[in-house]
Amino acid sequence: MESKVFEPKIVAFCCNYCAYAAADLSGSMRIQYPPNVRIIKTPCTGRLEVQFLMRAFEKGADGVLVAGCLEGGCHFIEGNLFAKKRVNYTRNMLAELGLEEERLRMVNVSASMGRPFTELITDMIETVRKLGPSPLNEVERPESKVQS
């Protein structure tokens, strides 16, 4: 009998100026990270609302990573500080819902941190792999049923 290794689905919201640039730099440096992360480029992590983070989980993500500029280095002054508050709020919400708050993480990187960015991605994947599939993915949703 074959044992299938769980490969988590990770959604990474990356700010345009730093985190997305770090992801681009890692690609230019030919540093590979696991392919099970989907990067969504945002103008600033400060524009992310709690509903975007929760929606990622509803749509099948096993983990969500928010990657913004270094604290004090946000191109929109305090955008990453707003994001940090929203991520912490959402982590508390996840815990109240019975989900592990480790499934959601915020990190700060600069545009020159290509290698550390890939290490953060890999660490997030390993953390979620240990947690296992999101319990939300096991629930059959009525809208997903095919009607005859």
Quick: pLDDT tens for 113-124.
999 999 999 999
pLDDT of residue 3: 61
pLDDT value for 45: 96
Q: What is the mean pLDDT for each group of 10 consecutive residues in the chain (148 residues)? A: 79 96 94 92 96 95 97 92 96 94 97 96 96 80 46
If residue 15 lies in a helix (H) or strand (E), which one and from where to where?
Answer: strand 10-15
Q: Which pLDDT does position 70 carry in this prediction?
A: 95
Whole-number pLDDT of residue 146: 44
| Contact by Cβ (8 Å): 79, 87 | no
Q: What is the pLDDT of residue 147?
A: 46
pLDDT of residue 4: 77
Residue 124 to residue 118: CA distance in whole angstroms? 10
Q: Which of 101, 140, 138 is nearest to 6 (CA)?
A: 138
CB 18 within 8 A of CB 68: yes
Spell out the residues 6+ positions from residue 5 whose beta carbon is closer than 8 angstroms to its own.
none
**Listed residue (6, 1, 7, 13) closest to 105, CA to CA:** 13
